[in-house]
Structure 1
Amino acid sequence: MIKAAKIDLSDISNELSFLLFILRDVQELDEKRIREYASNNMKWDSFIQLTLHHRVYPIVYLKLNQIRSSLIPADIMEMLRYHYNSNIIKMMQLTREMNKICDKLSDDSIRTILLKGPTLAIQLYGDMSHRTSKDLDILLDVEDVERAEEVMTRLGYELEDKHSLNHNWKEKMHHLSFRHKENSVQVEIHWRLNPNSSDSHSFNRLWGRRNNVLLLNREFHCLGNEDLLYYLADHGARHAWFRLRWLMDIDRLMPKIDSGKMHDYFRQYGGQSFTGQAFILASNLLDSKIPHSMNQVTNNKKALRLAKTSLFFIKRIVKLNPVPEKSVVWHYFRYTLSLMTGRQRARYLLNHLEPNVEDMSLLPLYKPFHFLYVPLRPFLWFWRNIINN
């Protein structure tokens, strides 16, 4: 096992430092170590705020509850217990919906791969109560998207995306979002792993490498380990790792990775830089043990630069999804561009010159006049984000 290059953590808060200590897989979480942090002017309100923001309260509650330290305020433990129990109910609800949706899609001969949700919790943590999820993410073949949309409608889900306004929506988007009319469960139907993935990650190839998870006495299909690492690292990188939950996933997945297979995977699909970023952050923040054979992934200048840059977002309580807060927009824009390859940057900038659903909704134009959206885009963006915000 190796340690990744060190990054400067000297300016992180005492509350974040304590949170990271709890999340590490250590045996020294005892009264003495808690006292060290508690005596350093611990702001418990900030600690609970960080724990909830990073969506790691199930693990934090379980570890602190096991210690039962008198140094942890009773109201903090009660709040953690409340959110832990609420998450169990949420995960049970998602599991019930996942079972129902997968059954109906299967009835229509639509194959499904579960990307996150309860199956990921089982796959990485062994217990669905140990991880949080706000929605279900289901990957399927691009050819099955319209039929899946019909199934979701029959199940009482309403489409939240106005994709019908754009004729090439499958090329410009990578998922559709649905919300149930009664129980408010959110479901995303994906046909690509991420916005930039190409035919190299076709559904049939992912299906051929899939893993299975047993839940509710039935098997659900999920990504194979190498595909899952690529997907989780890419997802976390695109969101600048502003939630520690995503790094916890990387930490739990790392021991399951076959280094030889992963190097072959990188040669075929790329992804070394954002995977290296994930490993460097996990090593520094969570003390994750990186296999020695993966040394070249972390010994990468771009990966180290990305890891240092993303600390800006980890150390603050910020929201970057679905849109970044105004206070960090410029930081996030520069970070996003630094993450991309030259070709991806060019495609990203070109895509922003083309009309999108928001433009068409704000200023509907007949199709022959769609070319006007290009010069009008800066004005429409300004109206949406500045005037109407």
Structure 2
Amino acid sequence: MNKAVNIDVSRLSGEMAFLLLLLQDAASLDEETARGYASALDWNAFVELALHHRVYPAVYLKLNSLASIVPADTMETLRYHHHSNTFKMLELTKEMSRISGALAEDGIRSIQLKGPVLAIQLYGDLSLRTSKDLDILVDPDDVELAEATMARLGYEAADKHDSDPNWKRKYHHLSFSHKERRAEVEIHWRLNPNPVDKHTFPQLWERRETVPVAGLSFYSLGKEDLLYYLTDHGARHAWFRLRWLVDIARLVPHIRAEETDRYFKKHGGRVFAGQAFLLASALLRADIPGALLQMTTGRKAVRLAQDAMFFISKIVKLNPVPEKSAVWPYLKYTLSLMKPKQKWLYLLKHLEPNIEDRQQLPLSKPFHFLYFPLRPFLWLWRHIIN
């Protein structure tokens, strides 16, 4: 196996070490080894980790063959969540088909970013990956049309952006929910929040792949675009869910190393890919192609991988907003991802009033200028005090 730079994993709990062993795709876990771990495990803490990291489907299947060493209540809990997830993924697939068909009818091209399509792409089985919502990418010029389509399908927008003329530059997706269908959907028009992202929708559409799901065909990102998207997304969220790293470990064997290396040199994101490769290699024993190992040797990639271990090794909730104890560590981590110019743009962007500020403190239009000096206090109230 090609080796990336070592990341210190010596301080992981026994529960986390066993969880990682179960998630290693090529690991042959014999009963004797499993018994060695099981004898010292806090099974309640283990289940909590599996649920937090959203990896319980694969964990359940691995443990099912070793059920004799697992407490019955633990297996029943994992079985319940595994079966619930299977039904959830089937419901999402049905809704994905309905939305994709409606968008196509309205002349809107769409690409599935995660959800059931990613489960089939990387795992070959809907039930082996979890998803709470659908993420759909459309052309920026079609966002307003997509909003109308979602409204026609009975979806309600989570945020109102009419009062903000710069909403498409500030944000990269809109959230929608359907009460009766209990479905959540995000309509994206960029792969990430960076307003100067080099990817254009026509380019992504040209490189798209077709993925069959439940007898239907859907579009997904091409392999290199998908790796870029997943590593960028994971880095921004500090990899606080192991599910995202398992995605990387599953995707790596299917990428073309030399072409991927050229892709990241052209589009950027090499540091984030290096971070992902380091973590996937250290935690999941992913085999990183030799042509891509150079991405793992940079000082920043190594530092970011080590910093991410703080959020991976324990239960830290960062979504939809960081828990109070993680606000400052996560802010520090987020700024460390950026170059100096990006840090200034990030800080300036977050000094601008946003939709949350207007909802938290409605002001009439003549007094909108007050949002600028008040914004730091509104942010502190939402994330620290309240």
TM-score of the superposed pair, with normalisation by structure 1? 0.96
Q: Could you say which residue in structure 2 is the equivalent of 1:44? A: 43
User: SS state of the match for residue 192, structure 2?
Assistant: coil
Alignment of 1:98-109 (within 5 A): 98-109=96-107
User: SS state of the match for residue 200, structure 1?
Assistant: coil
Q: Take 1:51 and 1:376, find their aligned partners in 2: how far apart are those partners?
A: 40
Indicate conservation of the 8 Å contact 1:196/1:344, yes or no.
no
Partner residue of 1:123 out of 105, 121, 124 = 121
Q: Take 1:261 and 1:158, find their aligned partners in 2: how far apart are those partners?
A: 41
Q: Could you say which residue in structure 1 is the equivalent of 2:174? A: 176
Indicate conservation of the 8 Å contact 2:321/2:383, yes or no.
no
Q: Could you say which residue in structure 2 is the equivalent of 1:7? A: 7
Q: Could you say which residue in structure 2 is the equivalent of 1:241? A: 239
Partner residue of 1:300 out of 278, 282, 298 = 298
- 1:153 and 2:154 aligned: no
Q: CA deviation at 1:27?
A: 4.3
Q: Take 1:369 and 1:28, find their aligned partners in 2: how far apart are those partners?
A: 65
Q: Could you say which residue in structure 1 is the equivalent of 2:140? A: 142
Q: Deviations over 1:180-210 (max 9, x none)?
A: 0212200000000010153521110100111
Q: Could you say which residue in structure 1 is the equivalent of 2:211? A: 213
Q: Deviations over 1:5-59 (max 9, x none)?
A: 11111111000000001111234312101111022x2100000000011100111
Q: Deviations over 1:290-347 (max 9, x none)?
A: 0011121111110000000000011111110111010111110100000112222111
User: SS state of the match for residue 49, structure 2?
Assistant: helix
Task: From the superposition, tell whether residues 27 and 304 of structure 1 become closer, same or farther in structure 2 (CA, over 3 Å).
Answer: closer
The amino acid of 2:196's aligned partner reads S
Indicate conservation of the 8 Å contact 2:245/2:279, yes or no.
yes
Q: Could you say which residue in structure 1 is the equivalent of 2:265? A: 267
Q: Could you say which residue in structure 2 is the equivalent of 1:18? A: 18
Indicate conservation of the 8 Å contact 1:165/1:360, yes or no.
no
Query: Which consecutive residues of structure 1, in runs of 5 or more, have no partner in the other structure?
Result: none
- 1:384 and 2:376 aligned: no
Q: Could you say which residue in structure 2 is the equivalent of 1:53? A: 52
Q: CA deviation at 1:386?
A: 4.5
Task: From the superposition, tell whether residues 70 and 170 of structure 1 become closer, same or farther in structure 2 (CA, over 3 Å).
Answer: same
Count of residues in Structure 1 that have an aligned counterpart in Structure 2: 386
Identity of aligned residues (%): 61
Task: From the superposition, tell whether residues 279 and 359 of structure 1 become closer, same or farther in structure 2 (CA, over 3 Å).
Answer: same
Q: Take 1:386 and 1:292, find their aligned partners in 2: how far apart are those partners?
A: 45
- 1:34 and 2:38 aligned: no
TM-score of the superposed pair, with normalisation by structure 2? 0.97
Partner residue of 2:91 out of 83, 90, 93 = 93
Partner residue of 1:314 out of 312, 326, 338 = 312
Q: Could you say which residue in structure 1 is the equivalent of 2:332? A: 334
Q: Take 2:195 and 2:4, find their aligned partners in 1: how far apart are those partners?
A: 28
Q: Could you say which residue in structure 2 is the equivalent of 1:250? A: 248
Q: Take 1:348 and 1:43, find their aligned partners in 2: how far apart are those partners?
A: 42
Q: Could you say which residue in structure 1 is the equivalent of 2:358? A: 360
Q: Take 2:264 and 2:322, find their aligned partners in 1: how far apart are those partners?
A: 30
Alignment of 1:65-80 (within 5 A): 65=64, 67-80=65-78
Q: CA deviation at 1:248?
A: 0.3
Indicate conservation of the 8 Å contact 2:170/2:195, yes or no.
no
Q: Deviations over 1:255-312 (max 9, x none)?
A: 1111121122112111011110000000000000000111211111100000000000
Q: Take 2:299 and 2:381, find their aligned partners in 1: how far apart are those partners?
A: 39
Q: CA deviation at 1:369?
A: 3.9
Q: Could you say which residue in structure 2 is the equivalent of 1:64? A: 63
Q: Take 2:270 and 2:380, find their aligned partners in 1: how far apart are those partners?
A: 36
C-alpha RMSD of the superposition: 1.3
Q: Take 1:382 and 1:82, find their aligned partners in 2: how far apart are those partners?
A: 39
Indicate conservation of the 8 Å contact 1:276/1:303, yes or no.
yes
Indicate conservation of the 8 Å contact 2:324/2:384, yes or no.
no
